[in-house]
Amino acid sequence: MSFPENFVWGAAAASYQIEGGAYDDGKGLSVWDMMCRQQGRVYAGHTGDVAIDHYHRYKEDVALMKQMGLMAYRLSISWPRVLPEGVGPVNEAGLDFYDRLVDELLAANIVPYVTLFHWDFPHALYCRGGWLNPQSPEWFAEYAEVVVDKLSDRVKHWMTLNEPQCFIGLGLLDGIHAPGDKLGLAEVLLAGHHTLLAHGRSVQVIRARAKLESSIGYAPTGSPVIPADEGDEDNVEQARKAMFAVNNRNCWNISWWSDPVILGHYPEDGLSTYGSAAPKVKDSDFDIMCQPLDFYGTNIYNGWTIGRNEQGRFRQVDRPQGNPICANKWPVTPEALYWGSRFYYERYGLPIVITENGLSNQDWVSLDGKVHDPLRIDFTERYLLEFKRAGEDGIPIEGYFHWSVFDNFEWAEGYKERFGMVYVDYQTQERILKDSAHWYRTVIESNGAVLGASRVEH
C-alpha cells in the first residue's frame, strides 16, 4: 500500500522568515522586527528586513513551487502587514499582497494552506500588553475576520496558531524568541491561556464567515516518544504516557496546548505540575477554545526513545554515540513520524497532517552550479517511510508539508543554517532548486511509490 489517494504533498514557509519588505507599503512592525534591532539577540545581527524578498519575488517563487510539483503550499499571513496597529485600520496594500499570492498559487494549481499566526505579533499590540492582555483573543478574532473576509472565497484550508509552545515558551519564558521577555510562569500561562482562546475565536470566525466550506486545523509542535521495543506493549504504553505528560514547569509539552483545544480541558497532571501558576479558568473558556477541527496539524522534527534499563525499569534511552544529527544539532529520529501520528490520532481522533518536518543543513553551491543535498533527501525519505507505515496501520494521514520550500531566516539563528529545498543566495537573491527539490517532485508524482526504492538491507 502507498499513501492514500488524496494525500496532499506540500511544503511550508512563514511570513517573517521569507517575505522581507519589512517597511514596505504601510506594513506595521512586528515583535520580530523589534527583536532583530536589539544587539546580540539574533545570530550575527541578521534580520528579516529583506529575507528572501518573497514580498517582491512571489511570482518567481510560485513558479519554482510549480516546478517542484507541489500540490499545496503552507504560508502564513503577517498580522501587522494587514493591520499595522494590530487592530483598527486595514492596510489594503498589505492585504492585497496575500490576495495576489493566493491567485498566483491557484493559477499554478497549488492549494494554499493559510496559517493565521506564525509568530510575527504586532508590535503595537505588544505595547498594549501583548498576549497578556485579556482583550488579545478579540484582537486576534478581529484580525481573523479581515483575512477570512478577503481570502475565504478562494482559501479553504486554514491553520490558526503555529507552535504556541514556542512563541509563548521561547518568547515569554526563556526570552530567546521575540518579544524576548522572561516572565514568571503564571504570566506565561496566562498569556498561553489567551492564545488558546484566540485559537478558538478564530475558528469561530472562520466557520461563521468563510465563503467556502473550510477545513481547519491547528499547528502545535511536540516531541513524540518512541518505544525502544515495539513488540512490548508495556513499552508502548510508557511511550504513550510520556509523550503526553506535563511534568516540567515550562512550556515544553503537548497536552497543555492541545487538550483544551480538542478535549475541552487542561490535563490533570498539568494542573498539578503548574499548581498556583495555572490560570484561573472559567468553564465557558473551554467552550471557546474547544471548537470542532478537521485535522490535527503538527510540526514534527524529532522524538526521543523510552525503553527498559538493565533492571527492567523504563527510562529515556540515550542516543547511541554518532547518532545522526542535523546542522542545528537536532537528532534524526524518523520513527517520530510513525509514533507521533499514531499517538496523536489515538488521543485526539483527528486526521493527521504534518505541517512541518525537515532538516537544517550546510548547503552550498557546488562547482557544477548545483546544490547537492543528499542528507535532506535521505532524512525526508526515512521520515516519510515512517509516516507511510502509520497510514498502513490505519492512521488517517492526510498530508505532509516539508519545512521548508526555501532557505530562510531561522529566527534567533538567523541565516546560519538552511532548511530549504530551494537554495537562496542571500546576496543576489538567486534561487536554485536543490537535488532534494527534484527528488521531491518524483515523490509527489508517484504519490510516494518511489520511497524506499534505493534501500538495501545492512
What lies within 8 Å, CB to CB, of 76 at 6+ separation is: 13, 14, 15, 114, 115, 116, 117, 118, 120, 162
91 interacts with ligand GCO by CB under 6 A: no
Given a contact cutoff of 8 angstroms between Cβ atoms, the answer to whether 306 and 235 are in contact is yes
**Closer by beta carbon to ligand GCO, 152 or else 221:** 221
Residue 163 designated active-site:
yes
Report the SS3 class of residue 261. helix
Q: Pick the closest to residue 351 from 389, 384, 377, 390 (CA basis).
A: 390
Nearer to ligand GCO, 329 or 458 (CB): 329
CB atoms within 10 A of CB 232: 15
Residue 154, judged by CB atoms within 10 A of its CB (0-12, 13-18, 19+), counts as middle
238 binds ligand GCO (CB under 6 A): no
237: helix, strand or coil: helix
Query: Rounded to the nearest whole angstrom, what is the least distance from the CB of residue 65 to ligand GCO in the complex?
Result: 18
- Please report whether residue 401 would count as binding ligand GCO according to CB under 6 A: no
Q: Does 357 bind ligand GCO (CB under 6 A)?
A: no
Give the residue, chosen from 61, 163, 285, 386, that forms a contact with ligand GCO under the rule CB under 6 A.
163
Q: How far is the CB of 12 from ligand GCO (least distance, A)?
A: 8
- Choose the binding region for ligand GCO from 20-28, 53-61, 161-169, 238-246 (rule: CB under 6 A): 161-169
Rounded least distance, CB 28 to ligand GCO, Å: 20
Instruction: Provide the residue type at 80 as one letter.
Output: P
Look at residues 447, 441, 364, 446 and name the one whose alpha carbon lies nearest to residue 405: 441
Residue tagged active-site, from 19, 335, 356, 381: 356
> Given the rule CB under 6 A, which of 37-45, 140-148, 160-168, 374-382 is the region that contacts ligand GCO?
160-168
Q: What character string, x for contact with ligand GCO (CB under 6 A) and - otherwise, covers 107-146? A: ----------------------------------------
Contact indicator for 323, 315 with CB cutoff of 8 Å: no
The residue from 7, 403, 423, 440 that contacts ligand GCO (CB under 6 A) is: 403
Q: Which CB atom, from 46 or from 240, has the smaller least distance to ligand GCO?
A: 46
Alpha-carbon distance 360 to 21, whole Å? 25
Among 202, 221, 223, 298, which residue interacts with ligand GCO (rule: CB under 6 A)? Answer: 221
Task: Give yes or no for a contact between 77 and 147, defined as CB atoms under 8 angstroms apart.
Answer: yes
Question: Residue 136, CB half-sphere, CA atoms under 13 Å: how many?
Answer: 25
Q: Facing residues of 307 across strands?
A: 315
Is there binding between residue 162 and ligand GCO (CB under 6 A)? yes
Give 293's DSSP letter.
-
CB nearer ligand GCO, residue 139 or residue 419: 419
- Identify the DSSP state of 21: -
C-beta of 342: minimal distance to ligand GCO in Å? 21
* The only residue of 165, 291, 299, 341 in contact with ligand GCO, by rule CB under 6 A: 299
Please say if 142 is a catalytic residue. no
Total residues interacting with ligand GCO, rule: CB under 6 A: 11
Nearer to ligand GCO, 280 or 329 (CB): 329
Residues 405-434 touching ligand GCO, rule: CB under 6 A, are 410, 419
Q: Which stretch binds ligand GCO (CB under 6 A): 63-71, 80-88, 158-166, 222-230?
A: 158-166
Got the DSSP string for 306-354? EEE-TTS-EEEPPPPTT--B-TT--B--THHHHHHHHHHHHHH-S-EEE
Find the catalytic residue in 163, 335, 398, 417.
Answer: 163
253 binds ligand GCO (CB under 6 A): no
Distance between CA 293 and CA 270 in Å, rounded?
23
Beta bridge partners of 111: 72
Q: Which stretch binds ligand GCO (CB under 6 A): 19-27, 67-75, 159-167, 271-279?
A: 159-167
The residues assigned a catalytic role are 163, 356
The residues that touch ligand GCO, with contacts defined as CB under 6 A, are 14, 17, 162-163, 166, 221, 299, 356, 403, 410, 419
